[in-house]
Amino acid sequence: MTNQNNPEKKITILGIGNILFSDEGIGVHLVHQLMEEWSHLEDRVELVDGATDGLVLLDIVERSSHLIIIDSINAGKKPGTIIEVEQEEIPKYMGVKISLHQQSFMEVLALATMRGAIPEEMYMVGVQPLSLEWEVGLTPVVEEKLPQLKTLIQNRLQRWGVNV
């Protein structure tokens, strides 16, 4: 099912995570960098700090025809490994990680699907965390991946017809 309630492409770049737990906050850190660096984006592209908002994000997901999710992804890989996931594979990878916001965001995607308002295109990008300990700031191994993540997001936006 796709979002039938949205005739115009609405692209959302959603950074989720908890900045109080080191690498868990990568989505939020990166979306804030993008807000500063990409302030000139088209009106149809929205950058959102989703933090750990869970079900509050349902409206944002449902009004999006295209959704990019930025998050730390614990897939059992070497710390700093970049992981890309698309479409129906996204909930599987979200379920791997132990975090307060993950279960709630999985519920958001499930509810949007049940309501027939899931984005037609979904792309999740993130990094295997080194640390999920109580500490503000990213570890160096994860922080050094930010430029690569930006490039991947920029490439995805270009595939969807947006110039950055």
Phi then psi dihedrals of residue 30, to 5 deg: -70, -40
Q: What is the mean pLDDT of the chain?
A: 88
- pLDDT (tens digit, 9 = 90+) per residue, 15-46? 999 999 999 999 999 999 999 999 999 999 99
Question: Could you tell me the pLDDT band of residue 9, with boundaries at 50, 70 and 90?
Answer: confident
Helix (H, G, I), strand (E, B) or coil at 36: helix
CA distances to 2, 3, 28, 128, 137 from 99, in Å = 27, 28, 14, 14, 17
Q: Is the pLDDT of residue 7 over 70?
A: no
- pLDDT value of residue 75: 87
Q: Is the pLDDT of residue 149 over 90?
A: yes
- pLDDT value of residue 92: 60
pTM for the full model? 0.89
Q: Which of 5, 4, 3, 29 is nearest to 15 (CA)?
A: 29
Show Cβ contacts of residue 105 under 8 Å, excluding neighbours closer than 6 positions: 16, 50, 54, 57, 69, 94
- pLDDT (tens digit, 9 = 90+) per residue, 47-86? 999 988 888 899 999 999 999 999 999 888 999 999 999 9
